[in-house]
């Protein structure tokens, strides 16, 4: 269907790779199509012994590849708005920008498409990383950055992350360093985590980093007296807090490091029905009450 000729090295690579697929995986009907398309993607990424080049899809061939890969999506999932929107955006990206992609990204692009399809079907990419479908387009964009910078077996992440376009290089570095001090994570891991996050979440943890000294002060006050904490926050905000709001704020302060780490690790998976994670939502409400992160959708009230 993709018109890859049988006498090519790519076709031979595909036949060799398919023989290595475990029997249990080959018999998994829910994964069969994705597995087959993954083999084709991997076969195309292998360099030819004679030319030392991998197979590069043309713009139209890659569009066909995306169409075929999408056939493996569960019909029920394909009918959801978020999935159809992402597929449409990828089509647009190919048609509008593919000619400007560098060689490394073009070589790895089929694999990115397969990871997207795997996430839609099973909420994990082909390496077993758990990714929420609600973060799918951000994941797709981050993979483009990573693959564009790939050299041999080493992956280096572009320093000017697309989701941090509003930050200059010094601000980006400050954010990564602050997060490393707060979480104890390596800066390389933090950069990779940030590349996979929604820009709104990056903004939230950036605001918390800027206010981290204040959060530490609040934490010390809470240990001595929650009533004193109430007076301090109300004085700074210029308004009263209800008892319910006070407890929300206290809980958020106590769990701020956990909140930041869970966002970076992608552990706040949205509920399939409501599209939000209630633990994450409640902690953010506490930060919003104290004016530490922005609240755009509604006014804060009990």
What average pLDDT does this structure show over 67-78?
81
d(CA 230, CA 238): 12
The token duo for 53 is 């080049």
What average pLDDT does this structure show over 160-186?
73
Mean pLDDT, rounded, of the chain: 79
- Longest Cα–Cα distance in the chain: 78
| Confidence class for position 151, pLDDT limits 50, 70, 90 | very low
Q: What pTM was estimated for this model as a whole? A: 0.51
| Confidence class for position 202, pLDDT limits 50, 70, 90 | confident
End-to-end alpha carbon distance in the chain:
59
Q: Reduced to 3 DSSP states, what percent helix, strand and coil does the chain have, rounded to the nearest 5?
A: 65, 0, 35
């Amino acid at each position: 269907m993709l018109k890859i000729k049988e006498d090519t090295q790519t076709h031979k690579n595909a036949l060799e790779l398919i023989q290595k697929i475990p029997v249990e995986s080959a018999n998994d009907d829910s994964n069969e199509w994705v597995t087959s398309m993954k083999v084709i993607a991997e076969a195309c990424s292998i360099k030819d012994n004679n030319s030392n080049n991998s197979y590069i899809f043309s713009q139209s061939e890659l569009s066909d590849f995306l169409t075929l890969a999408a056939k493996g999506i569960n019909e029920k999932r394909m009918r959801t708005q978020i999935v159809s929107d992402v597929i449409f955006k990828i089509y647009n990206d190919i048609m509008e920008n593919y000619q400007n992609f560098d060689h490394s990204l073009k070589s790895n692009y089929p694999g990115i498409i397969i990871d997207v399809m795997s996430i839609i079907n099973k909420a994990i990419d082909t390496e077993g990383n758990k990714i929420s479908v609600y973060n799918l387009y951000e994941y797709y964009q981050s993979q483009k950055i990573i693959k564009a910078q790939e050299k041999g077996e080493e992956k280096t992440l572009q320093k000017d992350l697309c989701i941090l376009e509003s930050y200059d290089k010094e601000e980006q570095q400050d954010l990564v360093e602050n997060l490393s001090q707060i979480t104890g994570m390596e800066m390389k891991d933090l950069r990779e985590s940030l590349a996979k996050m929604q820009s709104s979440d990056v903004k939230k943890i950036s605001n918390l980093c800027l206010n981290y000294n204040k959060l530490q002060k609040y934490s010390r006050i809470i240990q001595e007296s929650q009533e004193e904490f109430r007076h301090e926050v109300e004085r700074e905000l210029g308004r009263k807090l209800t008892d319910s709001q006070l407890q929300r704020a206290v809980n958020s302060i106590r769990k701020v490091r956990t909140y930041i780490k869970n966002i970076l690790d992608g552990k706040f998976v949205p509920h399939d029905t409501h599209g939000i994670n209630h633990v994450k939502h409640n902690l953010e409400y506490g930060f919003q009450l104290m004016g530490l992160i922005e609240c755009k959708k509604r006014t804060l009230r009990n």
